[in-house]
Amino acid sequence: MTGTSTSSVRVAVRVRPLTEQERQQQMSITFQPNNQISVSGDKSFTFDYVYPPHSGQQEVFNTCVIPLLNKFLEGYNSTILAYGQTGSGKTYSMGIGIEYTTNEGIVPRFVHSLFQQLHHKQSLLDSFSFQVSVSFLELHQEDLVDLLGDKGFNLTIREDTHGNICWTGVKEEVVCDPKELMSFLRKGSIARTTASTDMNHNSSRSHAIFSVVLRQFHQNKKLVSKFHFVDLAGSERLKRTNAVGDRAREGISINSGLLALGNVISALGDESRRVSHIPYRDSKLTRLLQDSLGGNSQTLMLACASPADINVTETLNTLKYANRARNIRNRVAVNQEMGETEKLKQTITRLKEEIRSNDDFLHAVNNEMDALKREVQVLSTTLQQKSIELACVKCERDQYKHQLMADDQGLVPPMMDDDQTLVNDHPLVTEYAQIIESLKIELLQTQEKLKLAQERQHDDDETLVGSPCHSSNQCPPVYVSDKTSSNKKRHRVGKRSKYNKKKNTSFTTTTAIAVFPKQQKKNNKFLQEIKRKLQKEIDFLKQHQFTCNEENEVPNTKYRRRTLGSIHTDLQRNNNENSSQTLLLQKLGSMIDTQHELIQQLEQASQAKDDLSFYHAQKLAELNTKKNMTLTHHKRELADLKAQYECRLKKQQVELQTLRRKHMQLMSKTDRMRHQSQSLVDQLNRTVEKLGREKKKTTKRMKQESDRAREKMLEYEKALGKAKKQEAQSVTTKKRLEREIGVQKVAYKRLTEEMVGLMGQMKQVAAIVKKLASTNPKLDMTGKALLAKALTCANVRGYHAKPSTSKKTSGKLKAATLQQRVFHKKKIINSAIAVFVKDQAMHTATEDIARKRNSLVLEQKELLAERKLVLTEAHKKDTFSFKELSETQYMDERIDTITLELSLLDHQLQLIQRAKENDSWTDDMDNREDAYETALSLIRTLEYEEARLISELFMEELIQLKKTCQFDTLSTQPMGSMLQSLQAAVVQVRRITSSRELDPILMRILNNSIQIQHGLLLPKI
């Protein structure tokens, strides 16, 4: 991932057109220049993009989606977030609904443009390749649902190692072209949860996230970017949607998720709360959108609004919501994954930078070393000067010591002072003193080097014992310089440098063996050089002594030529010089002896080193022997491995040839199978397409049926709620009526007993009047009418008086309550109406059956006559034509059908006659109109309250009667068609009886009359 930068959330506002129901209202939104919008004239907002109702889908895509598409191709994550109230056009603008196929939205246009640019880029770059995968997720009532995968998987939201939000368990489908991608989009859209509300007939009941993942590969570079299309469910008020049951619970869940999203937007957009806690975990919706809001994503919020005046509150809330989102700033970065080569290049660059920094450090160290070298040179020069001065001082000291000794012993006379000064000031003596001092300094340095060599030898011995080396090739020799100061400096530099520290951490055994002979050789060379210098000095001193003797002789000869007066002085001077030179030679001899002792010590040390070198040489020889043995064993193993490898290689070559032959056979077989499978695939594709079309139709039909079932369920729920309310009311009414009934039961019982007695008396009176009428035939019509009315009143009541049960009543009747009066009067009216309707129904049914029977009998006679005529003509010709045969067959079938219908009508007439015979009213009265007049007169005498209550009861009974009638009509319609088919079957069976013998029981059933019981045609017993 490359360096991050910040990007603000862009906001686009799209206002939908007015619907047919909203055209009578005024628009609450006005558009102003510079992407400004105002609501109701007092609230103004400014956004990045503003689209009025006449803006098309292409304009929206070109202005606000194309920039996000370009960033998406560059490797940035992008998100489009559609927000707004329900029915504001979010799904239409996004284009992820199954019903929006003509005017494509953002997603279909994005898909086609994406593949177009990817193919263009692939044609320009040879090594460029890409992979596109999609996923479709739904958040329904805080439950994650994979719309492209199987149900039942547990989907979780997590953070990866880089802090990015990802969801596990979601199925990603790899696509190759726009058509395949759109098929997955349609599949997920069909599976998405939708329902109908009062505000939107196809409302989304869940939040949907359609994700497109793009992976681009070019020159060992990998870009992975994601594009999320988020279609949020619309905010809604239950008061306006009238949602109940599941719809209400879905609306509550939607509003709670949007509330949590609003809290996150407020927390991210408020400068004062920028460092406070962001409540991403309050809802799964905000958790899913964590990267899109405040994370690594280029985000566009598409706020959809309604211009209707009735939705001004929701529109204002939407615009405030979107205005807060403009203050959110995301941290965006290119999601780049480098290959192995790029990682190595970065490592090389990093190491170069480290080396460059180390070079700077080494340069500073080298400068320091140069300064130290210069300082050492200056100190060496100073040391030489000091050694010369020290030699001079020592000469003067020895001179003074010699003078003091001579003065103490009285050997040297005062005249000898000048000659002694001459000897002491001789330059050769001073030079010898300087050489002696330099030799002392070199001796000290040699001792230091010897001590250092002994320490290294001790370390080498420990290294040899602790870490033996088996091969000289594994431990290359490392040569160490003999400059102690330089080694110390380099050792310090090596401690500071990481690279040198790794290289010079420890000496191996071979390194110690290689260093020791070199150092020993240098020490031997140095000892030989010291010996040579000392020998030269001894020879030089001997020669100098001889020269001094000659010089002493020359002055003596000269002094002999002098006068005798000065001979004595010269002799004394020469003697003094000889004595001083003798002392000097003695001193030099002692110094030479000291040097010889030092040389002997050095020779002893050299001998010890030779012995140690011999020991190490033996060790080295042993190690070389072991190495040679190891190499020999290794070569032997290599030879064995080579032989095994060659043998195995030959076997593999034989197997390879066999496999090649099998491969060729399999290739030919595979080609044949490929052709067969291709034809099968084509056939299956056609079948799949056909099944897809059928599935689409089935899905549409199922959706319609589910909508209807959902509507019925809503009706049932409403009815259930209403019934519950009525039940509560009825419970209270029941309690009240129970109390009233308890009071009325006593009065009702008493009243009933009195009415029974009175009606028994009326029955007796009616019997007496009837007897009088029978004995007096001259009774006029008025008397007969009165007699019929009396009989009707007595029988309509339904009471049959018995002499044994009649009782005498005393006292007056108490007034009955209103409910009792209504109950009894309604019962009397129902009884009278039942008597009238029963008589009228029987009379009408009898007339209808008689009319049908007469018409069927006439038709049967005509058919029989015509059939007889046709048969007579055919017998005359002795041949039957096809037309005559078909006519005869038709007439036979029709005659049989008429016979069955006549049997059925006769059976119905018998049932009616039997009902009349069983009717108890037949003997009592001849005119059924009296019952109707009795009911009508009773209705006319009703009071207002009684008429109102009886009317309500009759209305309820009428409604129930209508329902029953309608149900009977619907249930009898299929029975009529069934009856016709059964009649046709019976006719066919009767015709078959002429050609084959049937079961006697079946013949008896077909030949005899039939009856209908429980909807079945059965033989009459």
Could you give the CA distance from residue 546 to residue 540 in angstroms, rounded to a whole number? 10
Q: CB–CB of 196/203 below 8 Å?
A: yes
Q: How far is CA 547 from the centre of its chain?
A: 110
Ligand-binding annotation for 485, yes or no, is no
Angstrom CA distances, 207 to 16, 151, 245, 257, 289, stand at: 21, 17, 19, 9, 11
Closest CA to 309 of 13, 12, 23: 23
**Intra-chain end-to-end CA distance of the chain, in Å:** 98
Ordered DSSP codes for 825-890: HHHHHHHHHHHHHHHHHHHHHHHHHHHHHHHHHHHHHHHHHHHHHHHHHHHHHT---HHHHHHHHH
Helix 781-796 to helix 818-877 angle (10° resolution) is 110
Q: Which two tokens stand for residue 485?
A: 């100061």
Closest CA to 321 of 82, 675, 58: 82
Ligand-binding annotation for 826, yes or no, is no
Could you give the CA distance from residue 29 to residue 41 in angstroms, rounded to a whole number? 8
Q: CB–CB of 15/53 below 8 Å?
A: yes
Question: Which stretches of 312-426 are DSSP H helices?
Answer: 312-325, 340-409, 417-424
Ligand-binding annotation for 89, yes or no, is yes
Ligand-binding annotation for 977, yes or no, is no
Could you give the CA distance from residue 1012 to residue 911 in angstroms, rounded to a whole number? 11
Q: How far is CA 105 from the centre of its chain?
A: 24
Could you give the CA distance from residue 60 to residue 80 in angstroms, rounded to a whole number? 12
Could you give the CA distance from residue 514 to residue 510 in angstroms, rounded to a whole number? 6
Could you give the CA distance from residue 221 to residue 216 in angstroms, rounded to a whole number? 8
Name 985's Cβ contacts closer than 8 Å, sequence gap at least 6. none
Could you give the CA distance from residue 57 to residue 40 in angstroms, rounded to a whole number? 26
Name 899's Cβ contacts closer than 8 Å, sequence gap at least 6. 860
Going by the DSSP 8-state scheme, the letter that residue 16 receives in this structure is: P
Q: Which two tokens stand for residue 520?
A: 């020993």
Ligand-binding annotation for 466, yes or no, is no
How many alpha carbons fall within 13 Å on the CB side of residue 519? Answer: 27
> Which of helix, strand or coil describes residue 662?
helix
> Which of helix, strand or coil describes residue 791?
helix
Q: CB–CB of 134/210 below 8 Å?
A: yes
Q: Tokens 């905010």 identify what position?
A: 235
Name 898's Cβ contacts closer than 8 Å, sequence gap at least 6. 856, 859, 860, 863
Could you give the CA distance from residue 412 to residue 364 in angstroms, rounded to a whole number? 64
Ligand-binding annotation for 557, yes or no, is no
> Which of helix, strand or coil describes residue 679?
helix
Going by the DSSP 8-state scheme, the letter that residue 278 receives in this structure is: -
Closest CA to 707 of 194, 236, 198, 115: 194
Ligand-binding annotation for 161, yes or no, is no
Ligand-binding annotation for 87, yes or no, is yes
Closest CA to 512 of 458, 564, 580: 458
Give residue 534's identity as a one-letter amino acid code. Answer: L
Closest CA to 900 of 1020, 998, 1014, 1001: 1020
Could you give the CA distance from residue 841 to residue 844 in angstroms, rounded to a whole number? 5
Q: CB–CB of 117/73 below 8 Å?
A: yes
**For the chain, how big is the Rg over CA atoms in Å?**
65
Closest CA to 580 of 388, 431, 430, 398: 398
> Which of helix, strand or coil describes residue 222?
strand
Give residue 179's identity as a one-letter amino acid code. Answer: K
**Annotated binding residues, as ranges?**
84-91
**Annotated binding residues for ATP, as ranges?**
84-91
